[in-house]
Amino acid sequence: MMLYDPKETFVASLQPLLHSRGDETIRAGSVSSVTDATDVDAHLVAIDSINRSSRLRQAHGPVFLITDRDDGKVLRQAFSCQAAGLSGTHRMPADLLAAIDQAISGHPYFDRDLLRAALRPQPELDRDAARQLVSHLTPREDDVLRRIMSGESTSKMAAAMGVSISTVRSHIQNVLAKLGVHSRLAAQAFVINYDVTTVAAGAPQYS
């Protein structure tokens, strides 16, 4: 793994753990090293140490961003550079490693505390009202919402559900409309903040 952390945001606590489990690490001197490296499994980058995160889109391999901020504003920056994940340094090192592994394995991870901070809905609903909105989802829409919560892309949803991408997009728009939100991130924030669960359990059953 390549580590870019000139301000020592995370490397002191995380690098020894990486070494103890057998991971090889390389300390990058500049963000250009992150974009130039072609034989690295993943890049761990302190988001607050970079000026132009858009360059990270050119990185070979997944990029996981780490921050010591807690205001949630870094979430937009993480999405702008197409990061595979983002976590705050407040996580226990072992939990941070688990989050990194999840993102590297193809399942995006975004710190729920930062997600709450960035997308906290206005307290216009109580939990019962929020549950009522979720209960109006069809089984297909419920399945889509669960896949949104797990970070699946539109194309991955379409393949898993056996439908076209345009059909998935239609389901997503229906989910957002029924929850009264305007984006997938806002839908994730809705579920997290109101502590509601999706209707379906286990394998989806479609009518």
Q: Per the domain annotation, does 141 fall within a domain? A: yes
CA contacts within 13 A on the Cβ side of 146:
17
CA contacts within 13 A on the Cβ side of 119:
23
Q: Per the domain annotation, does 134 fall within a domain? A: yes
Q: Per the domain annotation, does 62 fall within a domain? A: yes
Q: Per the domain annotation, does 199 fall within a domain? A: no
Q: For residues 54 and 73, what is the distance between their CA atoms, to the nearest angstrom?
A: 16
Retrieve residue 192's tokens.
């997290």
**Residues 19-45 pLDDT 10s:** 999 999 988 876 666 666 667 888 898
Q: Which residues on adjacent β-strands are paired with residue 87? A: 66
For residue 3, the SS3 value is strand
Are residues 81 and 171 located together in one domain of the fold? no
Taking the CA atoms of residue 85, residue 176, residue 155 and residue 107 in that order, the dihedral angle to the nearest 10 degrees is 20
CATH of the domain at 13: 3.40.50.2300
Q: Per the domain annotation, does 204 fall within a domain? A: no
Q: Per the domain annotation, does 200 fall within a domain? A: no
Range of the domain at 131: 122-194
Retrieve residue 117's tokens.
């901070």
How confident is residue 204, by pLDDT bands cut at 50, 70 and 90?
A: very low
Are residues 145 and 114 located together in one domain of the fold? no
- Work out how many domains the chain is built from and give that number: 2
Are residues 21 and 109 located together in one domain of the fold? yes
pLDDT at 97: 92
The DSSP annotation for 89-154 comes to TTS-HHHHHHHHHHHHTT--EE-HHHHHHHHPPPS-S-HHHHHHHHHTS-HHHHHHHHHHHTT--H
How confident is residue 206, by pLDDT bands cut at 50, 70 and 90?
A: very low
Are residues 138 and 164 located together in one domain of the fold? yes
Are residues 18 and 36 located together in one domain of the fold? yes
Are residues 44 and 72 located together in one domain of the fold? yes
Residue with tokens 């892309």: 153
Are residues 143 and 47 located together in one domain of the fold? no
Q: Which residues on adjacent β-strands are paired with residue 2? A: 26, 43
Q: Per the domain annotation, does 203 fall within a domain? A: no
Q: For residues 14 and 112, what is the distance between their CA atoms, to the nearest angstrom?
A: 20
Are residues 107 and 127 located together in one domain of the fold? no
For the cut 70, the answer to whether the pLDDT of residue 201 exceeds it is no
CATH of the domain at 133: 1.10.10.10
**Residues 39-80 pLDDT 10s:** 788 889 888 776 654 567 677 788 899 998 887 778 877 877
Closest by Cα among 77, 165, 143, 17 to 63: 77
Are residues 80 and 134 located together in one domain of the fold? no
